[in-house]
């Protein structure tokens, strides 16, 4: 029992440390037409507009993700329809076609099961498609587009 309490306390402390760290440092850059805007977690929170409950190949069972929808990202960038280039900390990137945004409206998740995500946990931003809602759990093309550790989103014209 004491072991479980200590484990829970350590998880809580690291969650708070992660939130405090991300609240004050830039975690995401949005680029459109050569103009860049950087955001901290705290600055992203007001734009949260979507929750997705889905299973993924990297999580156990249904997981709840909360974040900013791709449509809201386009709105923030002042664009109605465009593809997105989503880049991770390790420079892995994927092109998200506008047809995916129309059909799935994936979410740039900043919370998983109510907690902010550390880099170790595929955060601080993870692009999530609603795989379960569309019965697409085995769609490897969508899997390849679910970039984790996202640090940059660019408009592709």
Q: What is the rounded CA–CA span in Å between residue 131 and residue 42?
A: 28
Beta bridge partners of 54: 63
Predicted local confidence at residue 104, as pLDDT = 98
In 3D space, the residue among 33, 121, 112 whose CA is nearest the CA of residue 77 turns out to be 33
Report the SS3 class of residue 8: helix
Q: What is the pLDDT of residues 107-146, one digit of tens each?
A: 999 999 999 999 999 999 999 999 999 999 999 999 999 9
Q: What is the pLDDT of residues 13-41, one digit of tens each?
A: 444 444 445 567 999 999 999 999 999 99
Question: H or E stretch including 110?
Answer: strand 107-112
DSSP assignment letter at 14: H
Please give the model's pTM, rounded to 2 decimal places. 0.85
Q: How many CB atoms lie within 10 A of CB 22?
A: 23
Report the SS3 class of residue 111: strand
Residue whose pair of structure tokens reads 């697409």 in the numeric block: 136
């Amino acid at each position: 029992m004491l072991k479980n309490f200590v484990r829970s306390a350590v998880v809580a402390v690291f969650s708070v440390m992660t939130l405090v760290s991300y609240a004050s440092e830039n975690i995401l850059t949005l680029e459109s037409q050569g103009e860049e805007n950087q955001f901290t977690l705290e600055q992203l929170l007001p734009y949260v507009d979507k929750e997705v409950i889905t299973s993924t190949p990297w999580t156990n069972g249904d997981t709840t993700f909360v974040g900013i929808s791709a449509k809201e990202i386009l709105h923030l960038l002042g664009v109605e329809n465009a593809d997105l280039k989503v880049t991770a900390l390790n420079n892995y990137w994927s092109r998200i076609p506008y047809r995916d945004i129309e059909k799935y409206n994936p979410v740039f998740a900043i919370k998983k099961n109510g907690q902010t995500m550390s880099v170790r946990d595929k955060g601080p931003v993870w692009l999530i498609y609603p795989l379960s809602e569309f019965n697409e759990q085995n769609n490897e093309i969508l899997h390849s587009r679910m970039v984790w550790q996202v640090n940059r989103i660019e408009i592709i014209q």
